[in-house]
Amino acid sequence: MKEKRRKAQKIIFNSEKEMPIAPMSLGSMTFNLTGAWRNIRPVIDLDNCLQCGICWKFCPDTAILIENEYPVIDYDYCKGCGLCAEECPAKCITMEEEIR
Amino acid sequence: MKKVIMGNHALSYGAMLARVQVISAYPITPQTQVVELLSEMCASKVLDAQFIKVESEHSAMAALIGASLAGARTFTATSAQGLALMHELLHWASGARLPIVMGNINRAMAPGWSIWSDQNDSLSQRDTGWMQFYCANNQEVLDSVIQAFKVAERFYIPAMIILDAFSLSHTYEVVDIPDQALVDTYLPPFQPAFRLTPDDPHAFGGLTSPDHYFELRYKLQKAMEKVPEAVEETGREYEKLFGRYLGTVDGYCLDDADIILVTSGTAGSTARVAVDNLRKKGKAIGNLRIRLFRPFPFKIVRQLLRRAKKVAVVDRNISYGHHGIFYQEIKSALYGFSSIPVFGFIAGLGGRDITPETFEEIVDYTLSHETVDSEIIWIGVKK
């Protein structure tokens, strides 16, 4: 699935004639990798994870997936809001500075 | 089939014949019987539509925006304060190019609370990118709903059908209810070029940078500019099927008129009684009723008014600190094309009656003045 995703590209039309009449995306928003907005990234210490699923439930961007019963961050879409780190009862999610 | 119905129900029957699929409305004052009858039609399955009850007019329009985007033909109705509450969503509907049709009963804005007619509610929404049709009788109300869907869906521009409170909304008149099969040939099902569907996902109404926003507005305006001609064309098509022409304006005794009274809404019918009376006294008066206010039918208005010696515009509205709103529009249409004097009268605010005597007073004033020395001539103020 992930391999099929294209990166969103900035498209600038040269003529109004090429544009749709309504403000709309040209395709599915799954191509729009909003993870690029992130300044801080959540990192999960799985050794202390309780597998409670609270981070998964609270993530406003559905950017936390459960794989093999443990949470995994989808960095393509995680905007780094930090809600998961705030809500984690085991405090095993830390927000680290994004280094590009 | 002929029926005796009120103006509100003429809107309901229009929506029914247009086979609307989603209706959303807030049911309390300033709402009228428009959606009451539609809810009954939905309940009894006369009309196969979803009726969504919401908690405000703001939500009513929001619900229709979603439904229209999903590809449904949508309808609602409101009035005065309810229309004002919708204001933000009116921009959303036109900006997203959704052909929603809405009935608006022209009621004066509060305070003081009023359920009587004037046009300040709909004219306050002049610049929202909606088409506006002002009606003069209940037959026209019904016909306009059907025509408005046809034009709206061609250009992806929402439309407002506007009628005066009480003098149309609650007045019973004989209305010919067209045959459903004929309406179906005139108005086929809505098949939008773009819509919200999982089969072809798009995000709508998202962040639009300065690289593209300007062009979207340009395209809306360009589409608007094509509407007056399309109204005349679809009006002629309507006449072929149903025997009634629906144009951008409606003229009466214009050919040899020295003075043309410009009106909108029901005041037009009253003006015609006055025109007949004055013609018996040898005064060459005519009446031009503006039916399509947005987009403004510049071309035909110029053609028709240029022949007159004087123009008298009657406004049942006011732009505070300026003057009558139709007066502004008529002057702007004639600017650079004609130098005939255009007089602006304000009458009938808040449901004060506009009678044939009102028009005779207006004509007397216009006859006795050669130049415009006042931006507003008030008619009927108790002094």
pLDDT tens for each residue of B69-112: 999 999 999 999 999 999 999 999 999 999 999 999 999 999 99
Q: Which tens digit of pLDDT belongs to each residue from B359-380? A: 999 999 999 999 999 999 999 9
What digits encode the pLDDT tens for the residues B313-364? 999 999 999 999 999 999 999 999 999 999 999 999 999 999 999 999 999 9
Q: How far is residue B302 from each of residues B131, B207, B263, B334, measured CA to CA in Å?
A: 20, 40, 15, 6
A3 has a pLDDT exceeding 70: no
Average pLDDT for chain B: 97
The shortest CB-CB distance from B202 to any of A12, A13, A24 is to A24
Give pTM, 2 decimals. Answer: 0.93
Take residue B125 and report the two structure tokens written for it: 């929404």
- C-alpha span between B55 and B52 (Å, rounded): 10
Residue B29's pLDDT is what? 83
A21 with B97: Cβ contact below 8 A: yes
So what's the ipTM on this one? 0.84
Q: At what angle do helices B356-368 and B267-280 cross, to 10 degrees?
A: 60
In the block, residue with structure tokens 């989603």? B22
More confident residue, A4 or B248: B248
3-class state of residue B256 by DSSP: coil
Using the Cβ of B188 and the Cβ atoms of chain A, whether some distance falls under 8 Å is answered with no
Q: What's residue A1's pLDDT?
A: 44
A-B CB pairs within 8 A amount to: 55
Q: Could you say which residues from 156 to 175 on chain B have a Cβ atom under 8 Å away from some Cβ of chain A?
A: 156
The pLDDT of residue A4: 58
Q: Which fold has domain A2-97?
A: Alpha-Beta Plaits (3.30.70)
Q: What is the pLDDT of residue A5?
A: 61
The whole-number average pLDDT for the span B10-16 is 98
In angstroms, what separates the C-alpha of B295 from chain A's closest C-alpha? 18
Percent of chain B's residues with pLDDT above 90: 97
Measured CB to CB, residues of chain A less than 8 Å from chain B are 12-13, 16, 19-30, 32
Q: What is the pLDDT of residue B185?
A: 98
Q: Which domains does chain B have, with CATH numbers?
A: 2-242 (3.40.50.970), 249-378 (3.40.50.920)
Q: Is B205 an interface residue toward A (CB < 8 Å)?
A: yes
